[in-house]
Each structure stands twice: as C-alpha cells, then as structure tokens.
Structure 1
Amino acid sequence: MLRTVRTLAAATAALLLATACNSASTSGESSGSSGKGSSVRGVTKESIKVGGIVSMTTASGYSKKDTDLGAKARYDRANAEGGVNGRKIDYLGAEDDGQDPARNLAAARKLVQREKVFAVSPMSSVTFSAGDFLNQQKVPTFGWGTVPSFCGPEYIYGFGGCMVPMPGGTITQSWPEGLAQVLGGAKGKSVAILATDNDAGTFAIRTYKQGFTAAGFKVDFAKAIVPATSLPNDWSAYTKEILRSNGGKAPDAVVSVMQTPYNIGLFTAVKRAGYKGVITDPTDYDPGLLAKDATRQALDGVHVLLSFEPFESGSPAMKQFKEDIRKAAGKDVPLNMHMMTGYMSADLFLSIAEKAGKDLTVESFQQAAKSFSDTGTLVGDRAMPKGQRESFGCGALVQLKDGAYRISSPFKCYQPIPFK
C-alpha cells in the first residue's frame, strides 16, 4: 500500500491485516460464466444481489442513514425500468457500522460470506476498514471516495472519483476556485483551515493548503488540532488563534474540514467573537439541520462545498433524482447529501453493470469498468479507471441564508493541480 494510504489508514491497519489474511476464501465465482450455468456470487438469471454499509448511528449523533434511502430510490427505478440486462436488483438494504472499524469489517464479512452479495453499494463510512477485505474478495464496492480505500484498489470505486489525492495524482480545485468566485477573486485573500487531530485531518490540511495556495489564496493558518474523539466544550482557544492569523487580523475566510457537530460549535464561536468574513465547509448541506434554531443560526451564511449538482438546480437529472427519492420515501422529504451519496453510488454500479452485458461475472464487470465513461451526470463527466486515481474535479458551493440554500458558485468542473 502506498505511503499516503498507509498514513491515513494507520488506525485500522493492524485490524485489516489480521482479519483479511485469516478470512475464508469467498472470492465469489468459479472459472465459468453465469450463462453456462456455473455459480457467480450474488447473480442468478433473474437478479443481482447488492448490499450496503452505512454509518446510521455514531457516537457524536451524526447520521448518514438517508444514504440507504438514496440507494433504494435508484435501485427501485432500475427495477421499474426492467432491471439490468433483464435482471432485477435484489437490494438487501444497508448494514449499520456505527462508524466503528470493527463493525464495518464485520458488516462486510456478513454481506460477502453469509449473504453472498455481488456488490456493496453504497459504502458510506469514514471508518472504511473493510476496504482491503472487499478488494481481496473481489467485491465491486461503491461509495463516496473521501477516504483512501477508494483510491487505487481494483474493485473499489468512488461515485465522484478518488477524492483523496495520491502520490503522482492530482488535487481537485472545486473548493478553492468556487470560494474565489464568492470572494470576487483569491489574490490577496487570506484563509484559515481547521481540521480534527487525526490522520485524516492531517492529510486534509496538507491537501487543502496546497489547493488554496495554488488558487492564489494566502494560507496563514492550516492546522489539524481539534480533538477527534470528543467535541470541545470551549472553542475560544481555536477562535482566538484563527481570528488573529492574518497578520493579527481575521482571515477573509474560515475553512472547516470537520463534521457537522464540530462545525456548529466552531461557527457559533467565531460569530460570537464578531467574525464577519466568509465561512465554508464540505459537510452541512442538509435541510434537516435547519429544524433547530441554534443549528440554523450557527450555519446561517455558511458556504457549503458540494461534489454534485445542487438540489436547487433545475436540470432534468436533478428532477429525476427528486422524483425517485419521493417515490422511494412514499412522500416528499427534505433532501440531503447522504441521499445523493447512496443514489450516485447505486447509479455508477448500475451503469457499469449495464455495460458488462447479460453474461455478468466479476471479470466481465471489471472489464467493463476499465473502459467506462459517460457525461452529464449529477457528478459531471465520469471515467474509469481515472476515477480510481483522481476526482472527476467537479463541484459547486451553496450558501445557507435565511433558512434556505442558494447556489453561490455554480456546479462546474475545474482543472486539477498536481499533488505534491
């Protein structure tokens, strides 16, 4: 495993090696093809079995449960349209890993060894400890490529590409370029970037410091210092340092690379300290967050990075997404980015499976993936195997203002920069 991936996965490396090496061999299929009557894991003449793994419950209260709804919505439409090359999708739903590495791996073992799924889609957890296991078992796996396990392994795919830069790869510029539009340009503008004190946070700081600098920003503060295991009760130490980072003055933008509970605390604190600049994060695009007054006030004015087309878009693809979600939920429900994660994970799996043809095996699926490409999706133009090495490079910013999200930087694909 490359050094960058080892660094980010240090917390779970021992667990992965110990369990993956001792796992029973269920790589999934015989040397024959399904059309000749031999067995292919999870595939029959009538169906393709798929499962998911999602952090539905977490210690902080943050939940990605609607990822499951998004996946179901896309699979339901596929089945209503006749399935994939005549086969219906038998979606088992998502296992809850509780954002725990051991449970993530246990869920993967269950789906592969007991349920015999052909694919895992969606996979949505920041503790993707099952990556090595699923890749070794030759299980096509799809999710949001924001952790290293989505970058490089042969059988694992990010629906927006690999969003964790690899050595020799690139860094997507959608966030800094979008923020430059919001600020009327990057030249002379200062940003302060804050992340949690763990491997992922440290790597995020390294990545975004390069990206914002390349876009023309001054990066006077970039630190991964917030405890990752518990929410701070007092944010004053962080806010004081941030608000003096621009030569003793406040920066033009505060960039948080943290999850919602942390952002609420940080943003509330900087606002109380009198900060009037731009605040931005990649997490808080969720109308459900607006139900509580304190949360709504904390996030008001924040510009949120999206790696997909905003819900506020009126494109045909977005209209189809909204219709599919409504049908799956049985009613109108507030949309959120977790639904999009499940939906587009399922969509990429379905698109590659369709190209693989009626004689579906892991080998035919992987062969189809090697030359797969399409355009005009909710995440922009997709291409493999590029997406296993780098992001598709597209994004938008939306701002929460007066209880509603508005597009502040339109969805666009940007030229990436080399990762150093």
Structure 2
Amino acid sequence: MTRGPRALLAMSALALMATACSNATSTSSSGGSGAPGVTGTSITVGSIANLTGILSSDFAPIVDGVKAYFDMVNAQGGVDGRKLVLGFEKDDQGSQTTDLTVAQQLVEQNHVFAVVGVGTPFFGGASYLARQGVPTFGYQVSVDWKDGPSLFADYGSYLDFTGGEMSDAYVAKQLHATSVGIVAYGVQQSAAACSAAATGFGTYGVNVGYQDLTFGIGTDPTPDVLAMKAHHVDMVLTCLDVSGNIAFARAISQNGLNAHQVWLNGYDRPTLQQYGALLNGVIIGLQHVPFEASAAFPGVYPAMDTYLQEMQRYKPASTYNEVALDGWINAAQFVTGLRAVGRDLTQAKLVAAINSETDFNGGGLMPPVDWTGGNNHVRSIPPYCSAWVQAENSKFVPVFVQGTHGVFTCFDKGSDTPVTPQSGTPGT
C-alpha cells in the first residue's frame, strides 16, 4: 500500500546527489539458516542510519523509535524469554558506499541477527543484505527495498507512485477546487508522485491549470506562482521537501494567490510552530494514524496512545516525528515475526513468518500490509488509504474524517468514491 510521497523527505539529497549509482538487482535468498546474535537470553540486532551530516535530522530519529519499542517489550519480559538488544548503531553518513560497508560489518564482524532501523537516502547495502538473507526493516525512500523477501520496509517494500491519485483528487473535491497547480522537483520520485496525482483530478471535474514537474531545488517559485495566478488556480499540490514547500507558501502569500495548499510532505510540528500563520490552512497527506488522533478521538486509536506514551518516556524530543514512528513500526514488525516463530528461531524462519502475514498494521498505526505471495515486495495492492491533517493556529487537526472517527479515506484502483477500509485498518 506504499504510496511514495514519504520518500520526498530526502528529495533535496536525491536531486543534489543524482550521480550516485543505484544498486544492481540480485537474486535473493529466503533467509539465513542460522541464528547469529541469538542466545538463550537475548537477540542482538543492528541499525543503519544517516546519523551525521546535513540530512541527519531527516533519518536519525528512526533509531529512537526502535529503541523505545524495544524498551517497552523488554520491560514486559522480552520475546519468548529473550531481551532485544540494539547492539550496533551504524552511521552511513548518507553515503551509498558507506552504507554497504557498514552493512557488511554488521553481518561479518558484529554477527547480528537482523537489521532493524534502516534510515538513509541511499540504501547501498540492500542487495548485500538480501543476498545474505538477513531480516531487514527500515524507512523506505528508494526502490532498493524490493530486492528480496527478507527486506521489510514500513508500509510495504514496493514504492508505488500511482496508488494515491484518487485521494489527492478527493481532497480537491472536498475543497471545492476547480483548477489545480502541480509542482514537483525534476527528479524521479518527486515528478512521479505528482504525475500520478494529476491523473485523478479530471474524475471530479477539476482542471489541471498549471504543471511544473521540473522545479529546481532552491529556485525562486515566484514565476510559478504568478503563472498559477494567471491560470486561476485555486489549489496548489506540491511534491517537494519541506524547504520547497515553505518557499512556495511564502511566494503564494506575497503574490496574493488565493489557493488552498496541499502538501505530500511536511508533517512536522517544529516547522509548523516556526512558521505559524504562513502555514495556516495547509493540508498534508499521511500514510499513518495522525499523532493528533489520540487526543481528537479518545480511546479509538490505542496504538497511537501507546506510542506517544512510550516515546514521551524514552525520548520526548522525538515523539512527534514521523521517522521515529517509522522506527517504532519497524520494531513492531520485527517483534510480530519473532512471536510468530517462537523459541526455535532462525533468520529463515523469521523471514518466512513475516511473508505469511496478510494484515500487519503496526499494531494499529497504519492500514494493513499483506506480505503473502510477494505482495508489497513487488507490487502494491488496493485499497489505497490516506489520512489528512490541516494546519490551524499552529496545530495540526485531522480532516476529511470518515464517519465519526475514521481518519483514513480509502480508494480502490481507479475508483472515484471512497471504499470501506479493509479489515484491520485502524479506526474501523
């Protein structure tokens, strides 16, 4: 069910470092036959994240989410009598080459059982870990995650840019928009996400009045905004990173464009508090239960209640951070698999157990992922669900709620009306 817009977090890096080579596809094993890192009392794993450098704030919090989840599980006695140990935290510095090096270190020197908490713009070690059959869990920002059955990205390992086109169009309908302006960076992830979105608007009679899929990082958005104004655009959809979105918000305000702003990235409380009134009314799409749903709908989203409580206890600064939530979900997937296998644990058994799951939802934080038959490794399957929040007076508020408390709006492929969320979708 992965839509892809979350990949825009690293879009600046992907554009600036476009010369980096992608991994070659390789034949993957189904998992190691042994159980490195496993003793009678503990299971030792490692993580790989961009912990230092200009992009560290976009990726490093994934480790906090993993640790918080492990702490919670260990306080409850661990898994089958074994404590979970994140024994090796590797920093790939945002480098594809370094990523491969530290992946090899985790396997060949540190002998970890799994890699839990991969957060990096360039997953250079993906193919290597897949060949070794190492169960691997992380935040997906590239197609590298589909390399093998042992790679488990949050929300599914298939990076799908087409699944959300009707969700974006549905938002336009709810806003009574008649003409939309679409802007994306001139890199594959960004342009593909916005190109897919553009296909759905006609279903609701919304015209694509202006489109720029080659916008440059750091470029002045004023010409785009003036062109939108000339084309009477009343909704602007951006497939940009946070800095690009802020630049457009300023230009829209300064040039008097009266248009709703819809972002596919930028759900960040510090950013909202920093820019305040400039972002008032901005709508942002999510793939998970909004943090604010816990207070807005008491008792309806207990998994979010638990996440917020445990993160506040473990590391308050990372609580309202989507990448920390990704780490929590990664750890939850790992533990769900461990419990399915039981005490007689091997890497191969863990991989097989997870690939038998039909409805993993992070414990109640996201719509279900079906891993069976290669689903969500090689393709995406409907329905496609999104949650939406709106900035109001320096706070995010869930919007487009279905019924009394359903934060997710779901569509089948090409459908023009919302469908009933599948069983296991939080809030249903």
TM over 0.5: yes
Summarize the alignment of residues 241-320 of structure 1 with structure 2, pairs less than 5 Å apart: 241-244=227-230, 248-249=231-232, 251-292=233-274, 295-314=275-294, 315-320=301-306
Correspondent of 1:403 among 373, 394, 406:
394
Partner residue, 1:363: 348
TM-score of the superposed pair, with normalisation by structure 1: 0.80
Partner residue, 1:35: none
TM-score of the superposed pair, with normalisation by structure 2: 0.79
Task: Give me the whole-angstrom Cα distance separating, in 1, the residues matched to 2:353 and 2:204.
Answer: 36
Partner residue, 1:34: none
Task: Give me the whole-angstrom Cα distance separating, in 2, the residues matched to 1:163 and 1:223.
Answer: 26
Task: Give me the whole-angstrom Cα distance separating, in 1, the residues matched to 2:101 and 2:110.
Answer: 13
Q: Which amino acid aligns with 2:312?
A: R
Taking a change above 3 Å as real, the CA distance of residues 105 and 266 of structure 1, as seen in their structure-2 partners, is farther
Taking a change above 3 Å as real, the CA distance of residues 213 and 143 of structure 1, as seen in their structure-2 partners, is farther
Contact 1:26 1:113 in 2 (8 A): no
Taking a change above 3 Å as real, the CA distance of residues 223 and 360 of structure 1, as seen in their structure-2 partners, is farther
Contact 2:165 2:196 in 1 (8 A): no
Correspondent of 1:176 among 133, 144, 168:
168
Correspondent of 1:148 among 143, 147, 154:
143
Contact 1:195 1:258 in 2 (8 A): yes
Summarize the alignment of residues 21-420 of structure 1 with structure 2, pairs less than 5 Å apart: 29=32, 31=33, 39-59=34-54, 63-92=58-87, 94-151=89-146, 153-162=148-157, 164-165=159-160, 171-173=163-165, 175-176=167-168, 179-180=171-172, 182-184=174-176, 189-213=178-202, 217-228=206-217, 231-232=218-219, 234-244=220-230, 248-249=231-232, 251-292=233-274, 295-314=275-294, 315-329=301-315, 331=316, 335-374=320-359, 377-385=364-372, 386-388=375-377, 389-390=379-380, 393-410=384-401, 411-417=407-413
Task: Give me the whole-angstrom Cα distance separating, in 1, the residues matched to 2:352 and 2:283.
Answer: 40
Q: Which amino acid aligns with 1:296?
A: G
1:20-69 per-position Cα deviation (integer Å, ceiling 9, x unaligned)? 99xxx99984x5xxxxxxx5223222222222223344546753322221
Partner residue, 1:3: none
After TM superposition, give the deviation of residue 145 of structure 1 in Å: 3.5
After TM superposition, give the deviation of residue 319 of structure 1 in Å: 0.8
1:60-79 per-position Cα deviation (integer Å, ceiling 9, x unaligned)? 67533222211111111111
Task: Give me the whole-angstrom Cα distance separating, in 2, the residues matched to 1:280 and 1:198.
Answer: 20
Alpha-carbon RMSD across the aligned residues, in angstroms, is: 3.3
Task: Give me the whole-angstrom Cα distance separating, in 1, the residues matched to 2:205 and 2:148.
Answer: 33
Taking a change above 3 Å as real, the CA distance of residues 303 and 48 of structure 1, as seen in their structure-2 partners, is same
Query: Identity percentage over the alignment?
Result: 26
Taking a change above 3 Å as real, the CA distance of residues 416 and 61 of structure 1, as seen in their structure-2 partners, is same
Q: Which amino acid aligns with 1:254?
A: V
SS of the residue corresponding to residue 275 of structure 1 reads coil
Taking a change above 3 Å as real, the CA distance of residues 255 and 239 of structure 1, as seen in their structure-2 partners, is same
Unaligned stretches of 5+ in structure 2?
1-13, 295-300, 402-406, 416-428
After TM superposition, give the deviation of residue 354 of structure 1 in Å: 1.5
Task: Give me the whole-angstrom Cα distance separating, in 1, the residues matched to 2:166 and 2:38.
Answer: 39
Unaligned stretches of 5+ in structure 1?
1-7, 32-38
1:302-337 per-position Cα deviation (integer Å, ceiling 9, x unaligned)? 1111100011113211111111101212x5765121
Partner residue, 2:424: none
Task: Give me the whole-angstrom Cα distance separating, in 2, the residues matched to 1:285 and 1:254.
Answer: 17
SS of the residue corresponding to residue 411 of structure 2 reads coil
After TM superposition, give the deviation of residue 347 of structure 1 in Å: 1.0
Task: Give me the whole-angstrom Cα distance separating, in 2, the residues matched to 1:94 and 1:192.
Answer: 42
Q: Which amino acid aligns with 1:205?
A: C
Q: Which amino acid aligns with 1:279?
A: Q
Contact 2:180 2:237 in 1 (8 A): yes
Q: Which runs of 4+ in 1 moved over 6 A?
A: 25-28
Task: Give me the whole-angstrom Cα distance separating, in 1, the residues matched to 2:169 and 2:105.
Answer: 42
After TM superposition, give the deviation of residue 16 of structure 1 in Å: 3.1
